[in-house]
Amino acid sequence: MNVKEAISRLAALYPDFQPWWEGEDPFLVLVGIVISQNTSSASTRRALSRLRERGLTSPSAILSAPQEEIEDALRPAGLYRAKARILKDIARWAMDGGLERVLSLPHARAREEMMKVRGIGRKTADVFLAFVASAPIIGVDTHIMRIGRRWGLGTDYESIKEALEREIPPERRLWAHKALISFGREYCRARRPRCDVCPLSDICPKRGIQPEL
Ligand code: SF4
């Protein structure tokens, strides 16, 4: 796949985006990224506003709230028990100064440090650092992983991330992250990808797509 050509066509499709997490409190961005796993952005927004309604927006509030209250707020986002446990862990870590510490570190070190926290994987760390610390990193979420595989860029997180970062200049990576997610939702969907109307159809190897999908 010619990634440069694909990205330049996506630039015509998605010239710009409204801010997603930019300007938000770093802790809440992290909370939002955790909640957004395996759910839609509408469900993430619903769960976040339920946390806000209950005043559960700071590390100390999350740490002192009963587990069941957090679980109840997170219900619309699914996997609410596991996500509530992760929020407790990251709240404890933030209360211990972990969040401030990683924001003062170089990006690669910050990524390593974040990944030591239970519940924070490389995708969460990468997306967080891209949005909050302006790190020139492409966080490979589920949409980008699928697109990367279909484009033949690799089969795992790191190979797809590296293939994209090789072709996309640092200052365009945050935009590219958003563009690829939007493209994955609108065209390169998990089930029934819209290859017939896709603007990249003539250059895409379409790897691993079953004919019936
Ligand atoms: S042609 Fe199909 S598989 Fe390739 S990018 Fe477009 S929607 Fe995805």
Looking at the structure of the chain, the number of domains it has is 2
Question: What's the rounded mean pLDDT across residues 56-81?
Answer: 95
Distance of CA 2 from the midpoint of ligand 1 (Å): 13
With beta carbons less than 8 A apart as the criterion, state whether 151 and 192 touch.
Answer: no
Q: Whose CA is nearest to atom 8 of ligand 1?
A: 188
- What is the rounded CA–CA span in Å between residue 58 and residue 60? 5
Are 11 and 39 within one domain? no
Ligand 1 pocket by C-beta < 6 Å: which residues?
150, 187-188, 193-195, 198, 200-201, 204, 206, 209
Are 120 and 44 within one domain? yes
**Is pLDDT above 90 for 88?**
yes
Q: Which two tokens stand for residue 58?
A: 């700071």
Are 128 and 30 within one domain? yes
Inside any domain, residue 169:
yes
SS3 string of 108-141?
HHHHHHHCCCCCCCHHHHHHHHHHHCCCCCCCCC
* Per-residue pLDDT, 210: 67
With beta carbons less than 8 A apart as the criterion, state whether 62 and 23 touch.
Answer: no
The model's pTM is 0.89
Contacts with 24 (C-beta within 8 Å, 6 or more apart), sequence order: 32
Inside any domain, residue 37:
yes
Q: Which two tokens stand for residue 81?
A: 């028990």
Q: Residue 157 belongs to what domain range?
A: 3-17+138-197
pLDDT in tens, 90-122: 999 999 999 999 999 999 999 999 999 998 999
Number of the ligand 1 atom closest to the C-alpha atom of 6:
5
